[in-house]
């Protein structure tokens, strides 16, 4: 049943992580408009009306939002778990709807701007250099030093990201630059930053009228590959001490203030390096990786999506949405078959019946090609598990990996 007072909501992005957003918006009584290049996705089919527009096409979103608002059809422009905060901010601003300033969104989306601001305001000083040519990147690596990390200006899920260590050749540096450049959207520019070693954390927060509300910390786990940063799992709640978790939240609050994020979701990938919290990157949206959409609600009973939808629509935040109501252990884990053509899959049906397995997202079938794991987007499955204790969770994860078997045939070498 639709509430006419609430009108509709324009959701940018129709990937798998937007399915919970569509469902939550409908639960709240909104008519859901959604945009994406793929309007045959589950999220697009769940929406009331889908528009075939690239999430990076800002002009088309501005035009659509203005048109819908002029007809009194939408109360908000929204996304979550999707790296399109600048598109959302531009569309909402043009339509006169609530939202952060486009400049603030760009401060997060543009990694060079983010570092410049955080360094200038001494929130978290990091050695970095921006590059627009092969000569630039060679000089940047020399100035920043090894180890360093090469990133595209504006992408997520570790796409185009490569770690460079001592002994790296000029050819390798140039190749890393070229790969990062291919993943840029706003403009062709790459950033080189000093590389921090340590344990990484996904930190969800919600900002309301400039005040930060904690929304859960998750421990990020990675493959032991030296060049590429590919996450294998995410654990909630964090095993980190309460003292250090508070330091993470304190750093996020300073970053939000410096970058101009005053309302809405604000998520960070942070690291504890040599005992000190550091910022890898921050973004004006909720976390991806099925974290804010599924696992933090499973672990804490929080409703991060409702909280952020309310703020996007200009409503008062209901602080109880972000108060933990219970404590359970949850994890997203992935099975990594060898790269190649899939020739056999077994165990999926067994996983469906397995105690503690809450959600299974598996994207490939027999005959599909598993690519080299160069970024997080190349993972082919995500299994969400939940348990009352950490020990029980670990047992369930072991059982998942024993049960799901994916056989591949390696590609012939050239």
Q: Which CATH number is 89's domain given?
A: 3.40.50.20
For residues 314 and 337, membership in a common domain is answered with no
The whole domain housing 384 covers 331-409
Q: Which CATH number is 306's domain given?
A: 3.30.470.20
**Domain boundary pick from 44, 72, 105:** 105
C-beta separation of 73 from 44 below 8 A: no
For residues 173 and 278, membership in a common domain is answered with no
Q: Which CATH number is 162's domain given?
A: 3.30.1490.20
C-beta separation of 77 from 50 below 8 A: no
For residues 289 and 354, membership in a common domain is answered with no
In a domain, 68, yes or no: yes
In a domain, 2, yes or no: no
In a domain, 111, yes or no: no
In a domain, 117, yes or no: no
pLDDT reported for residue 3? 42
Q: How far apart are CA 294 and CA 65, in angstroms?
A: 28
Q: DSSP label at 83?
A: S
> Which residue in 218, 215, 197, 204 sits closest to 333, CA to CA?
218
Q: How far apart are CA 75 and CA 70, in angstroms?
A: 11
Full pLDDT tens readout for the chain, 414 residues: 344 445 899 999 999 999 999 999 999 999 999 999 999 999 999 999 999 999 999 999 999 999 999 999 999 999 998 889 999 999 999 999 999 999 999 999 999 999 999 999 999 999 999 999 999 999 999 999 999 999 988 876 677 788 899 989 999 999 999 998 888 877 889 999 999 999 999 999 999 999 999 999 999 998 776 667 788 899 999 999 999 999 999 999 999 999 999 999 999 999 999 999 999 999 999 998 899 999 999 999 999 999 999 999 999 999 999 999 999 999 999 999 999 999 999 999 999 999 999 999 999 999 999 998 877 778 999 999 999 999 999 999 999 999 999 999 998 776
For residues 374 and 319, membership in a common domain is answered with no
For residues 263 and 308, membership in a common domain is answered with yes
Can you name the residues that pair with 50 across neighbouring β-strands? 34
pLDDT reported for residue 373? 87
Please state the domain count of the chain: 4
Structure tokens at 89: 């901010």
C-beta separation of 83 from 17 below 8 A: no
SS3 sequence, 30-82?
CEEEEEECCCCCHHHHHCCEEEECCCCCHHHHHHHHHHHHHCCCEEEEECCCC
**pLDDT digit string (tens) for 155-173?**
766 777 888 999 899 999 9
pLDDT reported for residue 411? 81
To which H or E segment does residue 207 belong?
A: strand 199-208
In a domain, 346, yes or no: yes
pLDDT reported for residue 297? 97
In a domain, 76, yes or no: yes
pLDDT reported for residue 167? 87
In a domain, 394, yes or no: yes
For residues 164 and 52, membership in a common domain is answered with no
**Domain boundary pick from 174, 194, 214:** 194
For residues 342 and 405, membership in a common domain is answered with yes
For residues 348 and 321, membership in a common domain is answered with no
In a domain, 121, yes or no: no
For residues 226 and 177, membership in a common domain is answered with no
Q: Global pTM?
A: 0.92
For residues 132 and 91, membership in a common domain is answered with no
For residues 314 and 340, membership in a common domain is answered with no
């Amino acid at each position: 049943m639709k509430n006419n007072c609430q009108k509709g909501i324009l959701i940018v992005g129709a990937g798998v992580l937007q399915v919970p957003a569509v469902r939550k918006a409908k639960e709240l009584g909104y008519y859901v408009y959604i945009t994406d290049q793929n309007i045959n996705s589950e999220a697009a089919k769940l929406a009331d009306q889908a528009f075939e527009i690239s999430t990076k096409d800002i002009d088309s979103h501005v035009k659509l939002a203005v048109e819908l608002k002029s007809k009194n059809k939408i109360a908000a422009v929204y996304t979550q778990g999707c790296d399109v905060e600048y598109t959302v901010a531009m569309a909402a601003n043009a339509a006169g709807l609530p939202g952060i300033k486009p400049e603030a969104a760009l401060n997060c989306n543009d990694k060079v701007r983010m570092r410049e601001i955080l360094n200038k305001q001494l929130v978290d000083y990091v050695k970095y250099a921006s590059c627009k040519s092969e000569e630039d990147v060679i000089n940047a690596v020399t100035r920043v030093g090894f180890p360093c990390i090469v990133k595209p200006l504006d992408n997520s899920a570790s796409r185009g990201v490569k770690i460079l260590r001592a002994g790296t050749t000029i050819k390798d540096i140039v190749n890393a630059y070229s790969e990062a450049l291919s993943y840029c959207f706003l403009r062709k520019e790459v950033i080189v930053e000093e590389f921090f070693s340590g344990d990484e954390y996904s930190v969800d927060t919600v900002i309301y009228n400039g005040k930060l509300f904690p929304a859960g910390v998750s421990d990020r786990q990675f493959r032991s590959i030296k060049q590429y940063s590919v996450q294998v799992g995410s654990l909630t709640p964090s095993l980190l001490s309460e003292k250090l978790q508070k330091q993470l939240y304190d750093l996020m609050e300073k970053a939000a203030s410096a970058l101009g994020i005053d309302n809405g979701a604000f998520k960070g990938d942070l690291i504890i390096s040599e005992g000190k919290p550091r910022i890898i990157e921050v973004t004006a949206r909720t976390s991806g990786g099925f974290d804010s959409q599924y696992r933090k609600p499973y672990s804490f009973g929080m409703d991060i999506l409702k909280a952020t939808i309310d703020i996007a629509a200009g409503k008062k935040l209901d602080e109880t949405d972000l108060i933990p109501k219970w404590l359970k252990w949850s994890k997203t884990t992935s099975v990594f078959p060898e790269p190649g053509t899939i020739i056999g899959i077994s165990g999926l049906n067994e996983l469906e019946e397995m105690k503690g397995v809450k959600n299974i997202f598996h994207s490939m079938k027999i005959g599909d090609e598993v690519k080299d794991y160069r970024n997080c987007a190349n993972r082919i499955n995500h299994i969400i598990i939940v348990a009352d204790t950490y020990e029980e969770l670990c047992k369930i994860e072991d059982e998942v990996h024993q049960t799901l078997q994916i056989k591949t045939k390696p590609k012939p070498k050239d």
